[in-house]
Every structure is written in structure tokens, then in C-alpha cells.
Structure 1
Amino acid sequence: MKLWATVLCLILACACAHAATPARGRTPLWQPAGGLKQTPIWPAMPPDAQPMPGPETVTIRTEQVGGRPWRAVTNVATPTMTVYPPTGRNTGAVVVVFPGGGFEVLAIDLEGSEICDWLTTRGITCVLLKYRVPSATYDWHCHCRPHNFALSVPSLQDAQRTLRLVRFHARDWHIDPHRIGVIGFSAGGYLVAEASTNYRRRLYPPVDAADHESARPDFALAIYPGHLTRGDGKLNPNVPVTADTPPTFILQAGNDDVDGVQQALVYYTALQAAGVPAELHVYAHGGHAFGLRRTGEPITAWTDLADTWLRTIGISAR
């Protein structure tokens, strides 16, 4: 019986977002296209560094999204950022991208580099964060996850550090230090909420001058976020929304069976109660983990809504 319980637990784990999808093949370590370079965000070892279960690996996932496979990076011990410069007129705005993947892997193209390709055409500088995964305390090897509402501390440390670095380099990068946003998908959407509500928490000691900058995003986009409610209609207490939480755009599908629509509804309700400008879009269909790849589902045109919202708050050039 013990053996069957273990087998059942592993089978159930396959339902987790991204993390349990079988790989079709392995490729060399992920590198950004176009001659762009990854830059380590920590000058030495990251804080609270933990040994990874193996070397950093890129896998090509077997399932198709928008008719194409997607790449997943795991065992990230050295977090990096990649700066994508805007094309055309520079608006001075910048967005830090948090790919999803259940804090187990990173959907590095589907919810990462492809997002930067969209944002840069809007005159926005894009910073793709390859944050640490697996990220404690998240462990997807069983279906019994008591940690499902904990802070993903290593990932949040990486997010805070990156926001501070972006603000520190604002003059060099020709960006406005008061127009720095974040966008995240699935687990990355939760990281958006974590960064938006925990920016005053000092999760690591300062390592250089950049760490004296603020880690608060000026605006945020949470796309099919998870971990925001226990399903009881109450907000996860680890994302304490206040009146200072940045303006937020939220998108989710009503039939999302990975991170249900209650995640978006509860977070939006909390933002409204705190007087935070927020915009919520819920579609009847669309599922989960589609990035911005167009399919037959209307929800995959969500970037049109986001473009309008970014214009409304004075960020996008379109």
C-alpha cells in the first residue's frame, strides 16, 4: 500500500502547472537571442543559497502551446537578468518579467523572452529575470503541499534585488526610475503580488549601493496568478495589500483548472478594498499557461487589453 500511495502521489503531481510536463529533449543552457547577455544579479553567492538537485538544464516540453513547444529552465542556482532594449521610441518605462513554472521550472520563452518581444515594440525596456528554481519552500513531488501559500523566499529575494538594480541603473539605461513595472505568469503572477506587497520587507542584507534603492514596482500585471487564496474567499496573508500596492492589471480564465479564477477575484477584491487602481479581466475559457501565443480562444488576445491599460497609466507608446 505504501508503494501505491507513493505512485499515486507522483501521478497527482503531474497535474501541477508546467513542473511535471515530460521533456522531449535537452538543449544547451538557455541563452537570449540577438546577442543579448545574461548578467548575474548577485556579485557573489545569492543569499541563503541552497544546493540544486542537478546542473542548470533546459528542456523542450512535449506539449504544444499555440502550435509550438516551449522551453523550461530548472536548477537555476545563479539568477540572471537580461535587458531587452526598446525598439523605436523609448518611453522611459521598464518591465521586469517573471516567467511561471510552479517555482520548479521557468517557462523561459513562453512566459519570458516572448513577453519581452511584445513589450519592446511598445517602447518599453524589458528585463527578463531568470530567478532561482526550485524555490524553497515549494516542492512539487507530492500533491500534499502545505507550503502552497508561503513566500517563495529565494525567488522574491531575486525579484527585489532586480528591481533595485533596475532603479540603480536608471540613468545609464535611459529609463525613468518612477516607471518600473513587473509582469508575471502563474507562479510568476504570485511573485508579482509578493513583490507588490512585500517591498518594505528586507529579505537579505544589502550587498552594494543598489540595495539602498526601493524594491517597490510602480505598476504590475498578474497573468493567471496562483497562490493568492486558500479557496475560502480570503486573501493569502503573505500578500498584505495596502493603499500603497501599485496599480495592477489581472487576467485569468474562468475554466483555469491549475490556478482557479478565485485567485484573481480575491486579489482584485483586496486591491479594490484598499483603494488601489486595478483592472480585472476574466474570460469564460482559456485554461492556463498560454503566454501571449494566439489560439482560437479569445483570451489569447489579452495583450490588446494590456496595451490599453498601459496607455491609460501612461506607460506604453501605443
Structure 2
Amino acid sequence: MAPILALYPGQGSQKQGMAIDLYHASHTVRELFELAGDIAGRNLYTLLSQGSEEELTQCAQTAITLASRSANIRLKELGIEIEAHSGFSLGELAAYCSAGIFDDATLFTIVQRRTALMDEMSRKARQMLGELGMAAVIGLDYEAVTVLLEELNLKGLYAANDNAPNQVVISGLSESITQAKSVFLEKGAKRFIPLKVSGPFHTPFMEEATQPFRTFLDGLAMADPVDLVISSVDGKPITTALDARERLSLQLARPVRWTAVMQRIKATRNADIAEVGFGTVLTGLCKNNAVQSSCLSLGEETTIQAYAKERAL
């Protein structure tokens, strides 16, 4: 029976009520909620079951990571083998943990530090330069977008996410994004969609956080992965703990190269590709990248149970 190649979603996939069904289904997941809550300093069950959208957004990185790890735990409890992992931006942390590079306590400790550094860099950028934003460019590939950005030479505007051959996210000053819109549409973009994200993530605005984050990671216990892990920094495998520290620090200021991840996954044989965590963002990107296998969505108890039953037949 084919094992799973697990993909873990990144920031923006949070939703009220996610992972609560997994919490009720598993004692181990309930223990994970308690562990993550102790590290985050808040009751995560209450946050996800009763908290406001604003509260959830403030704790998004922890909540998303918790949902991904909870889904991973449920799959393993039902005897489903996961042999490879990759994560989109934040999701890369869940991938490393699931591959045995570090434990859950270390994972949520890293998430807390990563969140604090990214928030600090975003505040500094807004104070110095003004309003920030992101926009999805549909219909152009990463190379075309980077060339156009170089030609435009607009202040503080960068390619941040290489999602698919027809989808790239740019990030930076809102004023520059507004100025760029008409040019991108003239040059062949089919759509130009502003996104509800204010942080200039995966751009040089985050560069100042790279070294402090690396120093922090160097102080944590890590091991070489026991499964294949593909980094979203460059689409290459992580083979050592040193690789893990390097990629995790670099990814703060480097673009997410998800197209490269998808190209490597295309070469994978005899594995079910699944989004392990809440939502279907990565399921959609599998389709946009023309990955031959259909990508499953395994982030809720009902879909996980249905998948397990189907495999048992």
C-alpha cells in the first residue's frame, strides 16, 4: 500500500474550529494541545473553539502548526505511513518535526521565536516605510515576474512566493504594489489580486532577523531527518540537522520556491500526495503545478477516517 508524501500548509490557512475534531478524537492530540498551549502561554482549545478571528490571527503560526501536527498524529494512529514531508513556509517547521529533526516541544518553541521576529521586522518596516502588503500575480511565472520587478525598479517590492508556473506572490510597500498593478496586467498577467497579509514575509525586509534566528536555532537540539524532507527554500532535500538550521533561518528572507518543491514531487513514485493540515491551499497548488497524482486533503477527522477505511479495503 502506497505511503503518503505529506504537505503542510503555511500562514493564512487558519480558521476558527480547525483541529477541534482531532482534539476530541485523540488523547495524544489533546496532549499536544496542552504542550503547545503551555509554550504559547494560552489555552489553544479555547482559542480555536471560541476565540475571535482577531485572536486567531494573532496566534496564527502556532494554531496552524498545531492543526498540521494533530493531523499527522491522527494519520499515524490509524496506521498510515508517511515517508516524505514538505511544508509551505511556516509548514516547513511541521515537516521537520514530523521527519524527526526535532520534537514537538522544540517545534512550538521555534514557532514562538519565529513569530516574534517576523512581527518585529514587520513593525520596523511599517514604521520606516509605511503601509505594506502582498498581491498575487496570476498568469505569469516566477522568472517573468522577477524580470518585470527589476525593470520597474519600484521601492521595496519583491517576489515572495513562487507558487506555481502561473501564480506568483509579490510583497512590499502597498504604494509600490498599486503602481505595479497596471504594468503587470499590460505584460500578460490575467489577474492581480491584493492579499489580506500585511507582513513583508520572504523578502529582504526580513533579512535582519535571519542571523538572530539562526543563533537561536543553534541552541536547540536537532537530529538528522529519518524521512525525506524537501525544503521550500529551494526544493532540495534536507539531509542533516545543519541543513535544517540553515534553511529555517534563510527562509525568513528568501522567496518560497514551491514550484521547485512540486517539480521534485512529480518525480516521486508510489506515494499518495496529501495536504496534512487544515484547508486545501496546497491541494489547489498541486493542480496548478500539474502534479500527476491527485492531492488529498487530510486535515479533518472525517477525511482522515474515510481515507483510512478506503486503504483498509
TM-score normalised by L of structure 2: 0.32
Q: Which structure is richer in relative contact order (CA contacts within 8 A, separation 6 or more)?
A: 2
Task: Name the TM-score, length of structure 1 as normaliser.
Answer: 0.32
